[in-house]
Structure 1
Amino acid sequence: MMQTRAPTMTTRPAIGRAVRPAVRSAVRPQALFGFGKTAEPETMSEFYSFAVKDIDGKNFQMSSLKNKAVLVVNLASACGFTPQYEELQELYNKYSKQGFVVLGFPCNQFGAQEPGSNQSIKQFAKSSYGVTFPLMSKVDVNGPGAEPLFDWLKTQKGGILTSDIKWNFSKFLVNKEGDVVGRYGSTSAPLSLENDIKKALV
């Protein structure tokens, strides 16, 4: 009698993707608790990239004004607003030790009311109003020949209808981070800006 052998069962390998052992991502303590983070690079204001000439013709770098609040003003010696020199100097006297600077730029574009030389402007400001805040060389503030600093200031704070400066003794307030935080017209008396200056100094 013939014995029937049971068919040999061949075990086929299971079809499917190999499963890798789960890998636990290690949470670094510094990530969990905020240690060892790489500080993001601070973005420096473009204000500090400008260079101008002071009233004696020397280079003046805006970068020297880092961590200071700055009031940039276009000046004229024969304007109805010229007495604002007195209040500008008063503010400078009061807040300069806290890091406040008035930066004056003579300009002859409005009514030709600043026709003199840099030295005559300097002498007038000192003898008439006791000015000790920094004065820059005479510049244009509008048009193709405008001082680049003023072109930048106008892009940061536009004016009414156009961004052009309208008259003498227009003012831009820059805070300690180099941000333009205020723009004021000729009719804004300097002392009326005192609260804004205090905020810019914080």
Structure 2
Amino acid sequence: MLMRRREAVILLGSLMASPARAVGLADARASTFAFDRPEGGTLPLSEFAGKPILVVNTATACGFAGQLAGMQTLWTRFQDRGLTVIGVPSPDFGNQEPLDGAAIVEAARKNHGVTFPMTAKTRVRMPGAHPFYQWAAAEKPGETPRWNFHKYLVARDGTLASAFATQVEPTDPRVISAIAAELDRA
């Protein structure tokens, strides 16, 4: 269902004014959210409407930071078929993201070969989580980030298709199968 521009503006306004209330909207979809870019401006998920999106909270100083290379593998393998991978650096778990802005992107590129989009440092844990993470928590309450590298797969229709815990590698067959299923949906 496509929203008219005025309805989208009202929904976005309600997200900014009261994210917790907006999360409860039955027609909320991932495409209604935007993240700040490390270089400034925003990264609206509406840019990827109709495509699956893997959203992963990251941290360059985390013991799981090697998963950035696995995320890059997914991006390289499935980008041409429509998958978007987005890294969301977060300070929420032991402040294992000590860098800010472009320094995060540079460290991910230099140390792990990352070329997929990264956001500015973002809160992913309640309370105070980014509205996307509030929405995801409402959609899958038992599957919220408990550490860095929690993965959410957003379906082509903007609903939350799957969630994968930190310990599940990006290249795990379960993640690849879920991505392939979303890519195969017309």
TM-score (norm 2): 0.81
Aligned match of 2:123:
140
Aligned match of 1:122:
105
Output aligned runs, 1:162-177, within 5 Å: 164-177=144-157
In the alignment, residue 173 of structure 1 is paired with which amino acid? L
In the alignment, residue 135 of structure 1 is paired with which amino acid? M
Structure richer in helix, relative to its length? 2
Aligned match of 1:26:
none
Q: 1:87 aligns with which of 70, 78, 96?
A: 70
CA distance in 1, matches of 2:159, 2:32: 13
Which deviations, in whole Å up to 9, do the C-alpha atoms of 1:64-84 show, x marking residues without a partner?
111111001000011111000
Aligned-residue offset at 1:185: 0.5
Aligned-residue offset at 1:115: 1.2
Aligned match of 2:182:
200
CA distance in 1, matches of 2:134, 2:34: 13
Identity %: 33
Unaligned stretches of 5+ in structure 1? Answer: 1-40
CA distance in 2, matches of 1:111, 1:183: 22
Aligned match of 1:36:
none
Unaligned stretches of 5+ in structure 2? Answer: 4-26
Aligned match of 1:4:
none
Q: What value does the CA root-mean-square deviation take over the aligned residues?
A: 1.5
Which deviations, in whole Å up to 9, do the C-alpha atoms of 1:125-167 show, x marking residues without a partner?
11111111000010111123211111101111122xxx54200
Aligned-residue offset at 1:46: 2.1
Count of aligned positions: 159
CA distance in 2, matches of 1:102, 1:145: 23
Aligned-residue offset at 1:42: 5.5
TM-score (norm 1): 0.75
In the alignment, residue 110 of structure 1 is paired with which amino acid? F
Q: Does 1:180 align with 2:160?
A: yes
